[in-house]
Amino acid sequence: MIGMLAEMNTDAAAWYVLGQQDVAILIPFAAYMLGVLVITVLSNRRQQTGDFGTEYYVAGRNFGAWVLAMSWVATLASGGSFLGYPSLVYSYGWSMAFWVSGSTVTAVIGLGVVGKRINRLARQTGALTLVDLLRDRFASKQLGVIYTVVILITTSVYLVAQFVAGARILENILETSYTMGLLLFAVSVVAYTTYGGFRAVAWTDTMQGVVMIVGVVLLVPVTLWAVASVSDDQVLELEAEAERISQQEPTPDRDTVVAELRQEIAVRRGGTALEQATRAQAEREDIEARDNDLPTQPQAFLYPPGPRRVTEPGDDQAGDWFLPFGWGLSLFLIRSLGAMMMPTTVPRMLAFRDTAALRRALLILAPYFLLMYGSSLITMNCAHSLGVDLPAGKSDHAMPALVTRLVELQAAPALLAGLLIAAPFAAVMSTVDSALLVISASIVRDLFEKSCSWRLSQRATQRLSYSVTASAGGLVCAAALLIEPAFLQPLVIHYVGGSASALFWPGLATLFWRRATTPGVTAGLVGGSVVYVLAVFWNPLAGLITLHPFVFGFSSSALLVWGVSRWTTGQTENQLEPYFGRD
């Protein structure tokens, strides 16, 4: 997701250039694709045994710690984490630290609060989706349908954005057209998701999660080494310059100039590579402010609200500071709370083996986000010191441009560059496959089988699931062909904010609150969605504080679930006992 919150600029034209420099760079990418193929075939063989639904949608409820941890995080992190967030750090410097601060608590909130409870109830009731749990607890098909529709709308929107991201990456790796990139991406990801089901998705996600983190973490020492190396070269040049000037005929300025040069040399020798890069950021000019005759702030790239927002013609936020406090606060809330009931991550909670797997998954996940975003913060704040200089509006090339620069400086080996090509593609694929299965489960399981009471044989369910997964992929592919990529980033953000606004409180109340009622949960679901949409067009606190629409939708949903449940008749003890027991 969360990458999903970064500006998802996905152009990466430099990838093709990289691949042409050294074919070895493409080896990790090719190995990754081969790995996906092998996993899919193995997963499909496992599907031949046992109940199709349990196997296809929750992989036999037998996930161990690594599969749970990696598939959860790989689903959460999309292409934005590996292209978009680095692009923003490149553009706005250290102020972007506030942007990801909510990720400090994502793991414990995302898995620690609801993971065990969802898993227990799903095993007890045989639920294959979260909608199963809601519908069964409140014995309401209508509630199930509404919840499913919200999931379908938000997830479809998200899928379109991710398809475009995947297409753009292939377009640039292969230097082909956008349409061809999209078709190649769609065929590959839809094929392995349809054929392999949830087990293939989870296993490939696990591999993708490892590929992603290894790539970005290795980038840190390589980048810092390159900054130190470039700085050493600059020191040698400064020393030569100081020596040359000191040999000249005495002039009034000579000693002053030499002293300044020696001071500069001392500073460069005294600091670490990151210090040097950060000091360079402190002196960086706010180009947007300069070009638009706007006031600037000193050290704008070191402190929030950052420099002026880089804008395009027609941008209604032109001239604003990049990260006003209210927006940063909203992002903290979305990044931490948004992961809890997200349609694409919840299926993992129905599928892990036992509490021991959840415990070990938390141990594995705890440092993951720090490694992922911390490495982007460090490396991208060094990019300017390495001479990565992109024109305004092209910061989306920052990651490939940095890798290209590191290859030029002979700091990054070809295989590492290859890993960095594979990482964003893996991030997009791992998000798309999960979202496709969510759509398939919502339609086949929640709408056809449960809400419409279709009685299907195992074979018919299998065929229908394959058809729906493939058709959903086809429809999203068609939508990605028609929609302007420039408008995709708001869609990605709306997926997280919108789904959390609508689904968070109804889901939490279903799991933990005895007093929750069908009207209360329905009101929270519908009210959170409606208020969110309204707040997108009209901010009630405009002029006071800049808040994301999520804050309004989320708060309204909480009030509605609580207020309407209190106001309506609660469930009977007999209805509650299977879910809450009795002392």
Q: Which of residues 486-515 bind another protein (CB under 8 A)?
A: 512
Interface residues for another protein in 445-484 (CB under 8 A)? 450
CB of 180 to another protein, least distance (A): 41
CA distance 249 to 245: 8
Q: Which of 126, 319, 387, 474 binds another protein (CB under 8 A)?
A: 126
CA distance 414 to 258: 41
Residue (254 or 360) nearer to another protein, CB? 360
Q: Which of 20, 50, 120, 541 binds another protein (CB under 8 A)?
A: 120
Sequence-separated contacts (24+) of 208-211 with Cβ below 8 Å: 208/32, 208/70, 208/74, 208/426, 208/427, 208/429, 208/430, 209/69, 209/70, 209/71, 209/73, 209/74, 209/368, 209/426, 209/430, 210/70, 211/28, 211/32, 211/419, 211/422, 211/423, 211/426
Q: Which of 27, 31, 33, 113 binds another protein (CB under 8 A)?
A: 113
Residue (472 or 509) nearer to another protein, CB? 509
CB of 10 to another protein, least distance (A): 26
Residue (46 or 117) nearer to another protein, CB? 117
CA distance 424 to 396: 13
DSSP string over 179-192: HHHHHHHHHHHHHH
Interface characters, 232-271, with another protein (x: CB under 8 A) = ---------------------------------------x
Query: Cα dihedral angle (107, 113, 116, 121), rounded to 10 degrees?
Result: -130
How close are the terminal C-alpha atoms of the chain, in Å?
Answer: 40
Could you tell me which of 193, 195, 185 has the C-alpha nearest to residue 480?
185
Residue (116 or 262) nearer to another protein, CB? 116
CA distance 461 to 467: 10
Residues forming a β-bridge with 308: 321
CB of 381 to another protein, least distance (A): 8
Residue (203 or 550) nearer to another protein, CB? 550
Interface residues for another protein in 275-334 (CB under 8 A)? 275, 277-279, 282, 297-299, 302-305, 325, 328-329, 332
Looking at 29-37, 183-191, 196-204, 572-580, which segment touches another protein (CB under 8 A)? 572-580
Residue (333 or 534) nearer to another protein, CB? 333
Residue (103 or 501) nearer to another protein, CB? 103
Interface residues for another protein in 149-208 (CB under 8 A)? none
Residue (111 or 423) nearer to another protein, CB? 111
421 neighbors 399 (Cβ within 8 angstroms): no
Could you tell me which of 430, 380, 371 has the C-alpha nearest to residue 400?
380
Burial class (CB in 10 A: 0-12, 13-18, 19+), 66: middle
Residue (334 or 436) nearer to another protein, CB? 334
The SS3 call for residue 63 is strand
Size of the chain, expressed as the number of residues it contains: 583
| Number of residues in contact with another protein under rule CB under 8 A | 76
Interface residues for another protein in 505-564 (CB under 8 A)? 512
Q: Note whether 23 binds another protein by CB under 8 A.
A: no
CB of 182 to another protein, least distance (A): 37
102 neighbors 474 (Cβ within 8 angstroms): no
Interface residues for another protein in 340-399 (CB under 8 A)? 354-356, 358-360, 362-363, 365-367, 369-370, 374, 377-378, 381
Residue (366 or 460) nearer to another protein, CB? 366
Interface residues for another protein in 59-98 (CB under 8 A)? 94-95, 97-98
CB of 97 to another protein, least distance (A): 4
Q: Which of 21, 125, 176, 467 binds another protein (CB under 8 A)?
A: 125
CB of 578 to another protein, least distance (A): 3
